[in-house]
Amino acid sequence: MKMARQGKINYLQPSWAADSAVCAGFTSRNGGVSRAPYNSLNLGFNTEDPRHNVEANRSSLSRSFGLPPHLLLTVQQVHGTDLLVIDQPNPDLSHFQQLSCDGIITNQPGILIGVLVADCFPVLIYDPRQHVAATIHVGWRGAAAGILGKAVRSLSQLFDSTPDTLMAGIGPGIGAHKYEVDRPVRDAFRADGQPWDELASPQGLGKWRLDLRKACFLQLLKAGLREEHIEAADECTCCHRELFFSHRRDQGKTGRQMGFMLLSSRG
């Protein structure tokens, strides 16, 4: 992925979004108005950053892509597997903002959909044939429960998407070398039949280092995507303080970056 710029916003852009009918990418922490420790483009309301700062940052993001702020849509992420599907025009998106789910799927142009992260992985999926976009929040609970497989199945069932034509981008998240987990995490992955031994390396009694990026990649492959259609960012959010917020590095007192998508009106 390469860093791109739109208006005031710098973001990592998957190569498949550079010349397509969708704007897609992963924001950095830079280019906003928030002060430390939320400096500067904090897009998450679930922080102690004053709300007017977050609103200004969100407005900057949406207006950079030519949209008014009310057309930027996020939801209340709860580390589950529920997905919001928007398949018809909705002039008022405000009633969706409080829904508890961990992904948004839409075929509606002109809506900037996003998921918020600060170590979890934002995953974007685009169907270039049916012109459908999905933004998915993947933490360890969502990965253990197979949220990406569910998202691909939803695209297939609801929009007649063919998995091997889908394009995906896995955004920046915490690297395995910084992500130590314990037995409850292992047990959750094993209970759902996830390939734990491929994803984790032992670090002592009852401790493992978990590779969530690889978990996302393998789930997308298992769901039917082609390997060459999956692009992953290399950056670790915990290591790159100058670029990304990190919940673990900053002990919870941090902002949120966003994985976002915006369909054109191509139809």
Question: Which amino acid is present at 147?
Answer: I
pLDDT the model gives residue 135: 98
pLDDT at residue 227 in the model: 98
Q: How far is CA 51 from the centre of its chain?
A: 22
Nearest to 77 by CA among 251, 258, 232, 225: 258
The predicted pLDDT at position 266 comes to: 63
What does the pLDDT read at residue 242?
A: 97
The secondary element (H helix, E strand) that includes residue 150 is helix 147-159
**CATH number of the CATH domain containing 139:** 3.60.140.10
Q: Give the C-alpha separation, 139 to 119, whole Å.
A: 8
What 3-state class would DSSP assign to 200? Answer: strand
> Tell me, what's the pLDDT at 35?
97
pLDDT at 267: 45
Residues 216-253: tens digit of each pLDDT:
999 999 999 999 999 999 999 999 999 999 999 999 99
Query: Looking at residue 82, what is its pLDDT?
Result: 98
Q: In the chain, which stretches have pLDDT less than 50? A: 267
Model pLDDT, residue 92: 84
Report d(CA 172, CA 161) in Å as an integer: 26
CA distance 16 to 32: 27
The parent domain of residue 17 ranges over 2-263
Beta carbons of 102 and 136 less than 8 angstroms apart: yes
Total number of domains constituting the chain? 1
Residue 161 confidence (pLDDT):
98
Instruction: Return the bridge partners of 115, or none.
Output: 259
* Planar angle of CA 209, 215, 217, nearest 5 degrees: 135
User: In angstroms, what CA-CA distances link 259 with 5, 27, 208?
Assistant: 15, 7, 27
Kindly give, in sequence order, each residue whose CB lies less than 8 Å from that of residue 131, ignoring residues fewer than 6 positions away.
21, 22, 107, 263, 266, 267
